[in-house]
Amino acid sequence: MSTVNEVEAAALKLSVNDRWRLASRILGSLPPPPDARVPEAILAEAQLRDAELENGTIKTLSESEFWGGVRRA
């Protein structure tokens, strides 16, 4: 068994609170992904999508349409 598998097995035996704490520490130790978007790019995308909704370029989906599409994928 590899070290990673051993650590994973041990981590899964921890309490929920300890797993949250461990996950937070591990995630906090990682650098941002290389393709991480900067907040300005995220805001620009959100504003573009809002404008598309407002001007009718795109249409919204009902909840059932959304889930129907998810199930087909």
pLDDT in tens, 28-48: 999 988 777 788 888 999 999
Q: How far apart are CA 32 and CA 11, in angstroms?
A: 23
Instruction: With beta carbons less than 8 A apart as the criterion, state whether 21 and 29 touch.
Output: no
Is 80 exceeded by the pLDDT of residue 9?
yes
Q: How far apart are CA 36 and CA 25, in angstroms?
A: 19
Q: How far apart are CA 27 and CA 40, in angstroms?
A: 23
Enter the tokens of residue 66. Answer: 């959304």
Q: Report yes or no on whether pTM surpasses 0.85.
A: no
Q: What is the pLDDT of residue 1?
A: 57
Residue 22 burial class via C-beta count within 10 angstroms: exposed 0-12, middle 13-18, buried 19 and up: middle
Is 80 exceeded by the pLDDT of residue 69?
yes
Worst-scoring range by mean pLDDT, 4-8, 33-37, 50-54, 65-69? 33-37
